[in-house]
Amino acid sequence: MKDKANDIVMKFRHFLLSSWEAFSPFVENLLDDEKEERINNWLQANWEILVEANLCGVNEFLEVYGYGADCNGASSRICFTDKLPTHKIVCNSINQTYVRDVITSEMKNITGMTFDGFMSWNGEFYEMSAPFDFILLTNESSNVLISINDVNFSIEKI
């Protein structure tokens, strides 16, 4: 399942890369809040269809992608809006326990941090845009941005 999770999540990144340019014109003229909401809904819908459906069994659900969807009231899900997550995607360092956080340039232990989503880094801040070559990880106290080349993905039961 570990290799399958890595394969599926990386295929999701490939999907984002191949569809971002086609999707972007649908949101480019929207106000910032509406644009962000539409992007989050699109990301969450595709996360559920492409990743969750391929990794989870019956009555198993992943944590939302990024901020999740905003179209279903209190739920951040698109489908099965009454369901809570049973699993999460985590990143595991390929070569070492610590990986470089590009935001601070410090080496960070990413054990226990949750995968939030794919991002890009412009040298000053991260953003949700192609080429999606960085990963945002979160926990209760911090955000860490790491290169996709430093980790593999796996799925864990919550």
Q: Is the peptide bond before 85 cis (omega within 30 degrees of 0)?
A: no
- Per-residue confidence (pLDDT) for residue 73, from 0 to 100: 80
Contact criterion met (CB below 8 Å) for 15 and 7 = no
- Per-residue confidence (pLDDT) for residue 57, from 0 to 100: 94
Contact criterion met (CB below 8 Å) for 120 and 129 = yes
Report d(CA 128, CA 28) in Å as an integer. 13
CB atoms within 10 A of CB 96: 9
Span 99-117, pLDDT tens digits: 999 999 999 999 888 899 9
At 109, list the tokens: 């232990």
- Per-residue confidence (pLDDT) for residue 1, from 0 to 100: 58
Q: Please, which residues bridge with residue 115 across strands?
A: 137
pLDDT reading at 136 higher than 90: yes
What distances in angstroms separate CA 102 from CA 63, 71, 120, 155, one per listed residue?
24, 32, 11, 24
Alpha helices in 24-115 (DSSP H): 32-46, 53-55
- Per-residue confidence (pLDDT) for residue 114, from 0 to 100: 87
Span 54-71, pLDDT tens digits: 999 999 999 999 988 888
Domain boundaries, the chain: 2-157
Span 1-54, pLDDT tens digits: 558 999 999 999 999 999 999 999 999 999 999 999 999 999 999 999 999 999
Residue with the larger pLDDT of the pair 124 and 12: 12
- Per-residue confidence (pLDDT) for residue 2, from 0 to 100: 59
Q: What is the pTM of this model?
A: 0.92
Who contacts 1 (Cβ-Cβ below 8 Å, separation ≥6)? 55, 154, 155
How sure is the predictor about 96, in pLDDT bands with cuts at 50, 70 and 90?
confident
